Amino acid sequence: MDACLRRWSSGSQFHVYVAQACNLRCSYCFNAQGAFGGPRRYMNLETAQAAARFIAAHTAPQAPFLNVRFFGGEPMLGRNAMAEIMRRLVESGRPGLKVRFAIDTNGTLLDRKSLEYFDSLGCVQLNVSLDGSREATDANRRGRQGAPTWDRVVRNVRRAQHCRVDLGVTAVLTRANCDAGRVIAELRGLGFHSLTLTPVWRSPLNPGTAAVEMDAEAELRYVTSMAAALREYFRELRQAMEQSRPPDYFLANAATVLESLQAPVATRPVRRCAGGALAIDCEGNLLPCAAMAHLPAFRIGHISTGIDSGAAERFFAARLSILEIEKCRRCWARLRCRGPCLQFVPPLADLSALEPPEFYCHMRQRDIRLGLAVLRELEREHGPVFEPLIAYARGWFGTCGPISDSPRGNG
């Protein structure tokens, strides 16, 4: 394996854009319908075949799993390219290697034929975007002509529940939809067992996000309701631990809270943007992270030629450390935050002297404060079993969470 590739998840996780376009026009879309401000693009079959060969050739020989996650826009618009990559990786996998796929989808295009194919593979995770109730979803997640989407998505989700797929959901919380407990109840009522709630983030690629982001009153409701939901979830985890059974559902936000337990010491990474899973865009370009598709200056190679070590070193040498950014050096949350994510900077930002946007700093600080507050309450409530509970939670999240990380944002 290319030594340079070891800096990306040990060569066992890959993210692939098969369609940088979308059939919806969500008000809070962070990446401009997957096009990231450029033209709509789709991966052709020739590029899909080359991508599959690249992934197979660069999978770490010692990795027990190969995790491939498909992004868009809407990846179901590139279903032929996606199916080609899946088929080739399953057929070419070495003995003992378990191949797992995840698809981040809006759920509107989950037709019977595709679900039957996913069912035949038996190793597909569908991460559906749905904001809970019909009212909340249809307010922001609409088709190109303004058509509502909730009924269509829920119909397809119920069809998928009869297939061999892992079914998760991501809900975006806006100013009008900020009660975390209510959204969790709505999503569980629809049959989802893996849930992620993310407050709307302002996007440099989509001015419309500012119209639905939380004001001070909505943010207080979100923090209060999320803290209550997390306390209840950890109580359910304790019951499951004491009864030696799996919890009833997975709440990704609880895993995020546990990040607050990592003490802010000097030996921890001081740069958040250190490269995620290696990403491939529709044209076969290699990216340090799927969240950076709008930053062509940081492309690090192509599937036809491999990683450009010079381009990779330029990415790692970019001044993105909290020790190099003056604003970060003064921030109380710098070690827990570890600096900015490039998903939230404009395409033409001066990356040699980056100042993270104020809204990004506010959101990160809020989430860190929330996590610390919840942990303090959990420690008081659970007393002597706090440490065993946290160990149990970490073990559960490690085995039952999403199969690979995705960039934070509004999907």
| pLDDT range class, residue 108, cuts 50, 70, 90 | very high
Domain locations along the chain? 12-411
CA dist., res. 101 & res. 103, Å (int): 7
Percent pLDDT > 90 in the chain is: 57
Q: What is the CATH number of domain 12-411?
A: 3.20.20.70
Task: Quote the mean pLDDT of the chain.
Answer: 87
The DSSP element (H or E) to which 120 belongs, if any, is helix 112-121
CA dist., res. 52 & res. 82, Å (int): 10
Structure confidence at residue 403 (pLDDT): 40
**Cα 388 to chain center, whole Å?**
28
- pLDDT of 193-236, one tens digit each? 999 999 988 777 777 777 888 899 999 999 999 999 999 999 99
Amino acid letter at 338?
Answer: R
User: Does the pLDDT value for residue 407 go beyond 50?
Assistant: no
Closest CA to 63 of 85, 105, 93, 19: 93
Structure confidence at residue 11 (pLDDT): 65
**33 or 168, which is more confident:** 168
| pLDDT range class, residue 186, cuts 50, 70, 90 | very high
Residue with tokens 């860190």: 368
**99 or 210, which is more confident:** 99
Helix boundaries (H) for 331-385: 334-337, 358-382
User: Does the pLDDT value for residue 171 go beyond 90?
Assistant: yes
Closest CA to 19 of 111, 138, 109, 125: 109
Amino acid letter at 305?
Answer: T
Packing angle, helices 216-242 and 386-400, rounded to 10: 100
The tokens for 358 are 């104020």
CA dist., res. 170 & res. 26, Å (int): 14
- pLDDT of 31-61, one tens digit each? 777 777 778 899 999 999 999 999 998 888 8
Give buried/exposed letters for 268-287 (b at 16+ CB in 10 A, else e): eebbbbbbbbbbbbbebbbb
Which residues are 17's β-sheet partners? 71
Q: What single string gives the DSSP state of each residue in 181-224?
A: HHHHHHHHHTT--EEEEEE---BTTBTTHHHHS--HHHHHHHHH
CA dist., res. 338 & res. 329, Å (int): 10
CB burial of residue 399 (10 Å; 0-12, 13-18, 19+): exposed
Structure confidence at residue 132 (pLDDT): 94
- pLDDT of 87-97, one tens digit each? 999 998 788 88
pTM of the model: 0.90
Average pLDDT over residues 346-369: 84
User: Does the pLDDT value for residue 249 go beyond 70?
Assistant: yes
User: Does the pLDDT value for residue 317 go beyond 50?
Assistant: yes
Structure confidence at residue 402 (pLDDT): 45
**22 or 206, which is more confident:** 22
Residue with tokens 């506010």: 362
Closest CA to 28 of 227, 150, 177: 177
Structure confidence at residue 70 (pLDDT): 97
Structure confidence at residue 175 (pLDDT): 92
